[in-house]
Each structure stands twice: as C-alpha cells, then as structure tokens.
Amino acid sequence: MNASRTLRAGLHRGGLEVRHILRSKREWFSHLSLPAIFLVFAGFTDHPVPGTTVPAAQLVIAGGLASLVSLTGITTLAQILASEREDGTLLRMRGTPGGMPAYLLGKVCVVAFVVGVGAAVLLVGGALFVGSALPGSVRQWATLLWVLGLGLVGASALGAAVGAVLPNPREALAVVMIPLYGLVAVSGVFFPTTVMPRLLQRTADLFPIKWMAQGVRSAIMPDGAAVAEAAGGWQHLETFGVLAAWCVLGLLLAPRLLFRMARKESGSRLSERRLRSTVAPAR
C-alpha cells in the first residue's frame, strides 16, 4: 500500500476513535481529569514566582501543559499498545488496510486530539479562573505551538516504543507512570527548578518535561519572569535541541520495536497468553 493510502487509512482509524471519545462520558471524564487537577492546584497558588511579580499560577498552568503532553503521549499510547497486543487487536491489524503504520497513525491522532482539548481547557480555564495569561503575540503563539508539537511527537514515539516492549498493560503503572510522575516533580512544574538541589536540576535537564514547561512559560509569561529560570533566560535554542533529540530517539526506536513486536505476534502466542491469564495459580 502506498503512503497516501496508508495516511488515509490511519486518519480514518483516528477519526473513528475520536468519535468514540466524543460519545463517551467516561472517556471525557478520564481525559479531562488531569487538566482539571492542574487548574484546581493553580487556583490555590496565590504567591508570585520568586524574584518577580508574576503569579505562580502561570507556572503551574505551563507545567500542567508539559505534563499533559508527556503523560498522555507516553502512558496512554504505551497502555493502549500493551492492552491491544494482549487482546489480539494488534494481530488482527496486520491484515487490515494500512497495517501497523495506519494503526499507529490512528493512535497518534487520538493522542493529539486529547492533548489539544486538554491544552485548550488549561489555557482558557487558566485565563478565566486563575489569572493565567494567554500568549500575547504571534511570536509567543508560534513558540507555544512548536514546543507542544515537538513534545507531542517525542512523547508519542516514546510511548509507542515503551508499549512495544511492555510485557502486559498491568506493568504500565510501575514501568511508566511512577518514573514519569517523579520527573514531573523535579521538572519545575509546581515550583522553579532553582529551589531544588543541584543534582535534581541536572537530572531534569536531561529529560523533555523540564524543557517543555520552560518553553510554555516563555509563551504565556512576560519576559521579566525569565529571571527565575536556572539560566536566567528562556533558552529557546536549548529547548529546541533537547526536544528534537528526544523526537529523533523516539522515532528511531519506535518503528524497530513495533515491527519486531508485530513479527513475533501469532495466534499461538495469543492463545498461550489467554490460557495463562485464565488458569488459576496453584495453591
């Protein structure tokens, strides 16, 4: 199948799944709970960013956007892939139009939709209820778009790579979510990284959440707030470099791991997994 037909098949799959989300109250509640938590937390944050007069609620909204992209892109895609490999969906996808590439594209469309809605809720809700600002210029809107766009591509690719190697969806919590929440805690989401020990600052510098949060802050906060950053500036070039590097890493790993996983899938393997899951453990 040529690339254009694969693209159409992937977008069609993504559209079907998005329509399912739009019809499901439980899906809406699940996907909007994280933005709502950050809005509530920002509402109770009434002190300024240290060294500035900018409300710290804006820092929480920016960190919430970075966390939303990372947690949705990585954990959601990893859990979906692990679950649908276990129930046989991925095995069936090998015989459908577009195969695995169209399947993965459809899932990325779903993640992009969820992130887009969550980002709109955070930005508009922050502006209406907690005094956060929207980007005030074309340059700031452009910064917001490239930061979140690079973050989404990198997070989705890494989520697909992790989902391809997870033994089962039950291990996603320990393998993916716990380390990610730890990174969120040290990435300047709730407070500036400058208040943390040097080792934690250097650790956060290696991962994209910190740079996404800093990039979003540069898009919704005044330039004077940059004095609270570890380097005393927004570091757009460094932000682009780190996010692009994680995109490259994810895009190199994900296709190889996914196609290796797809080659190993078979009806006998699926039956064996189902048998193991239904046989009660010996007492």
Q: Splitting the chain (283 residues) into consecutive groups of 10 residues, what average pLDDT does each group show? A: 78 88 84 90 84 84 91 86 75 67 85 93 92 90 95 90 77 75 82 79 89 92 84 91 94 83 62 53 46
pLDDT at 277: 52
d(CA 78, CA 184): 18
pLDDT at 231: 81
CB 80 within 8 A of CB 109: no
Q: Which of 108, 112, 66 is nearest to 208 (CA)?
A: 66
Tokens of residue 122, six digits: 């955070």
What's the CA dihedral at 152, 153, 157, 160 to 10 degrees? 50
What pTM did the predictor assign? 0.85
CB 60 within 8 A of CB 216: no
pLDDT at 282: 46
CB 205 within 8 A of CB 113: no
